[in-house]
Amino acid sequence: MKYLLDTHVLLWYLFEEERLSDQVANLLQDSESKIYISAVTFWEISVKQSIGKLQLKSITPAQLPELCLSFGFTNIPLSTAEASSYYQLKTTHHKDPFDRMLIWQAVCNDFTFISNDGNMEPYNSDGLKLLW
pLDDT digits (tens, 9 = 90+) for 50-69: 999 999 988 999 999 999 99
Pair 102, 7: CB distance under 8 Å: yes
Q: Which fold is adopted by the domain 2-130?
A: Rossmann fold (3.40.50)
HSE-CB of 114 using CA atoms within 13 angstroms: 28
Read off the pLDDT of residues 61-110 as tens digits, 9 standing for 90 and up.
999 999 999 999 999 999 999 999 999 988 777 778 899 999 999 999 99
Contacts of 130 (CB under 8 A, 6+ apart): 112, 113, 115, 120, 121, 123, 124
* CB burial of residue 58 (10 Å; 0-12, 13-18, 19+): exposed
**Residue 119: predicted pLDDT:** 83
Using DSSP bridges, classify how beta strands 129-131 and 2-5 pair: parallel, antiparallel or unpaired: unpaired
**Residue 96: predicted pLDDT:** 86
Length of the chain (residues) = 132
Average pLDDT of 105-127?
Answer: 92
